[in-house]
Amino acid sequence: MLNGIIVLNKPRGVTSSDCVYKLRKLLKIKKIGHAGTLDPEVNGVLPIAVGQATKLIEKMHEKDKKYIGVGLLGFATDSYDVTGKKIAEKKIITPFSDEEIQSGMKKLVGDISQMPPIYSAVKVNGKRLYEYARENIEVQRPMRDVTVKSYNLVNTSTYDYEKQQQTFDFSVTCSKGTYVRSLVNDLGAILDVPAVMVKLTRIASSGYNITDAVTLEDISRQIDQPHFWLQPIDSFFDNVEHFVLNSEQYDQVRNGAALKINASSNEVALVYSGKIKAIYEKKLNVYKPQLMLLQND
C-alpha cells in the first residue's frame, strides 16, 4: 500500500479536487486527500496525502504557505482576480513609488482580520459564498482572522503610461485560510486605488517547496517508481525530535500506552525499524499518543 505525500505542481485551469480525483483513479487508491485548496487559476504546490499520510492533513494545514504573484493597480473585479467582472476603474496619473507600495504592504502584515472574496468557498449558513454570488444574492461575508508573516514587493513595479495602470510583483508568507486575492484588494484600499490580482503561484506549503513538486504527467510516466514522486511520511517530521524505540517500548506504543522517555521536546516522533510509528506529546511527566502511524512501512 502507498503511504506518503505527493507534492503536486498543480497546473492552472483545474481544481484541487480534480487533481485528487485523477490521482485516485491513476493510483487506484481510496485514501487520498489534499491539504489546502488552490483556486483553479492558481498553480503551484498542492500537497496530497496518500494512505496513512491522510492522518497528517490537519497538521499539514498548520504550516505556513508561501506565494509569489502579480498585482495590478488601476481597476478591480468582484472576484479580486482577473477572472471576475470589472467593478471599478481609476487611472493612475502619478505612479506610486515602490516605497509607497511596500509601506502599504507592511500595514497588512501580522495578525489581521480579512474579508474573503465573494467568489470563494467560505460557507455561510451551509452555502458557499460563490454560490450566493452566482445567484446574485447579497450575503454578509464573515471576517476571518489570519496571520500574514510577510508581504513584500519583488523587483521594481511597472507603470503603463498608455493604460495608466501599474503592475507589481509580490511575495507572501501566511497562515492557512489567508486569501492572497484579498491582500491585493486591501493594498489597493490602502493606496486609495482599485487593485486586482493578475497571477498567483504557491511556492511552498506544508513544509514542501516547489522544487520538491512533480506534475501529473511525471507521476503517470513513472507510475511504477513511486520513490520519484512520493515523499515518505517521515519527511514531514524532519524538524521534530526523533526517539528510537526498543522492541519492548514499541509493544507498548502499539497498545497506545504512555511512555517515560528521555526527550527534550514536547512533541516527539517515535521511530521503530527505521520508520516513524507515532507522534507523542508530553503531558506532565510522561509522553502520550497524539498521532498513530503504525502502518507506516
For residue 92, give the C-alpha cell. Answer: 493612475
Burial degree of 38 (CB within 10 A; 0-12, 13-18, 19+):
buried
- In one-letter notation, the amino acid at residue 126 is G
* 134 pLDDT more than 90: no
Q: What is the pLDDT of residue 219?
A: 97
Q: Looking at the predicted structure, is the pLDDT value of residue 133 above 80? A: no
- The share of the chain scoring above pLDDT 90, in percent, equals 87
What is the full DSSP assignment across 209-254? EGGG-B-HHHHHHTTT-GGGT-B-GGGGGTTSEEEE--HHHHHHHH
In this prediction, residue 211 carries a pLDDT of: 96
- Classify residue 2 as exposed, middle or buried by CB count within 10 Å of its CB (0-12, 13-18, 19+): middle
CA distance 275 to 149: 33
Position 129 pLDDT exceeds 80: no
The residues, ordered by sequence, that sit 6+ positions from 8 with a Cβ below 8 Å of its Cβ are 19, 23, 45, 46, 47, 48, 213, 214, 215, 216
Entry field: residues in the chain: 297
What is the arithmetic mean of pLDDT over 50-75? Answer: 96
Distances (CA, A) of 98 to 47, 105, 167, 258: 34, 11, 11, 56
Other C-beta atoms within 10 Å of 11: how many? 15
Pairing between β-strand 43-50 and β-strand 4-10 as defined by DSSP bridges: antiparallel
How far is 227 from 35, CA to CA, in rounded Å?
A: 21
Cβ proximity of 178 and 146 under 8 Å? yes
Rounded to 5°, angle at Cα 282 from 280 and 286: 95
Domains in the chain, CATH or no CATH each: 4-63+206-235 (3.30.2350.10), 65-199 (3.30.2350.10), 240-292 (2.30.130.10)
The catalytic site residues sit at: 39
* Higher-scoring residue by pLDDT: 177, 127: 177
Average pLDDT, the chain: 94
The DSSP secondary structure of 97-154, one letter per residue, reads PHHHHHHHHHTT-EEEEEPPPSSS--EETTEEHHHHHHTT---PPPPEEEEEEEEEEE
Angle between helices 98-106 and 180-191 (to 10 degrees): 120
For residue 231, the cross-strand partners are 5
Residue 135 has pLDDT above 90, yes or no: no
pTM of the model: 0.92
Per-residue pLDDT, averaged over 286-296, amounts to 95
Q: Report d(CA 59, CA 52) in Å as an integer.
A: 13
Burial class (CB in 10 A: 0-12, 13-18, 19+), 97: exposed
Span 151-178, mean pLDDT?
97
**Percent of the chain predicted with pLDDT > 70:** 100
